Amino acid sequence: MKTFEYVILSFPMTRKTSLADMQASLNAKGAEGWEVVSISSSEFANVGHTVFLKRETT
């Protein structure tokens, strides 16, 4: 049976967080074998974007 581990990344809604920064962070996780499974966006309390990733455990 396959098993997975998960990680959650948070990108706050600020002018300092650019799309290029988000892309670089996601590409780095992808190079480690992580896969995006869901993205949640919210304007409440500057949460911004929350990205859920998983990868198969070995």
Percent of the chain with pLDDT over 90: 60
pLDDT of 18 strictly over 80: no
Residues with Cβ within 8 Å of 19's Cβ and at least 6 positions away in sequence, in order, are none
* 16-28 mean pLDDT: 88
pLDDT in tens, 34-58: 999 999 988 776 678 899 999 999 8
Structural domain range at position 46: 4-56
pTM for this model (two decimals) = 0.82
pLDDT of 25 strictly over 70: yes
Amino acid at 53: L
pLDDT (0 to 100) of residue 54: 99
Domain count, the chain: 1
Q: How far apart are the first and last CA of the chain?
A: 11
